[in-house]
Structure 1
Amino acid sequence: MAKQFDQINDSHRRFIEAQHMFFCGSAAPDGRVNISPKGMDSLRMLGPNRIVWRNLTGSGNETAGHLARLNRMTLMWCGFEKQPMIMRVYGDANVLHPRDADFASLNALFPTALGARQIYDMRVEMLQTSCGYAVPFFNYAGDRDVLEKWADDKGDAGISTYWDERNRTTIDGMPTHILPENTGDKTNA
């Protein structure tokens, strides 16, 4: 049976910290709904109603484009290894890019990573737990290093070019604001 809470308590925090992966859901008023898996060391809880997570450069940039149009986000964790539970947090989030004032201080909460693209600063309005009894067992084998190697091979200049060519818009053509507006918006290649 689902239970709802108005904040993250200590038990919730322990469950979140024990998970190796979470999912981010976002949607604009129109276009596609996006659900994206996130891993690595990319999430911090900064209080009972605040979560920040760092987004590294990837093939799409849907969440930033969606939040620019409709500021809502859902994060979800599944208990794959031990405790059967599904946990979702619902709220809104500010998008911070490397050029923004608070980006550096929040980025410092995470291990150094080339290609840090955005930090999402989420205000949690509600947390909901449900049983997760149908979620299968999966064993954690470790993090992949493919994205880190890809970013290192590209370097800062290559990542900037990638953002310009591939991350300026969502798959529905919504601007993501990855680069300063004065450079003009382009569509994905």
Structure 2
Amino acid sequence: MREEINKTIQVLKRGGLILYPTDTVWGIGCDATNPEAIAKVFKLKQRDERKSLICLVHDFKMLNEYVEDVPEVAYDILKYAAKPTTIIYDDPIRVAENLIAEDNSLAIRVVQDQFCKQLIRKFRRPIVSTSANISGVKTPLNFKAIAPEILEGVDYVVNLQQSKQTAQPSAIIKLKNDGTVKVIRN
């Protein structure tokens, strides 16, 4: 796994796109602080740039480095969540502007997957994670279902967990600074 992490980091540092296994579905990723790399993700997915992307961090400490004020309830939600959970936070900081939604929010997941945790910890920056599909096309639930144009459109495909069977997208919760909680996806 160490070798895959090192190869992946080299691609991320060059502003490249990766295809990698996450704690949910296979994702297209890049450096969440690199606006050019993020633009490439939107282009590859043929996704409207006004639609936001998710980014991944490795722990609560890192989460606090990229959100101005993490509401206390977020820690309880994440601690007791039965499945991987992405939370949309107000007032993200230190990420590329084109990653931030029009309402000044950003979807962030604290990953549980060991490869992702180690990759992000060693890279020392959050990584974009968006499903490995063209926008509007069904999310592939395993590696074999990923379309050829996605496989060919990234700079590196992580050589781990490719035989892993069906996965599911994360739950998504929008958590406003005023305490409002809205479930977007269960």
TM-score normalized with structure 2 length: 0.30
Larger relative contact order, structure 1 or 2 (CA cutoff 8 Å, min sep 6) = 2
- Structure whose alpha-carbon radius of gyration is higher: 1
Normalized per residue, the structure richer in helix is 2
TM-score normalized with structure 1 length: 0.30
Normalized per residue, the structure richer in strand is 1
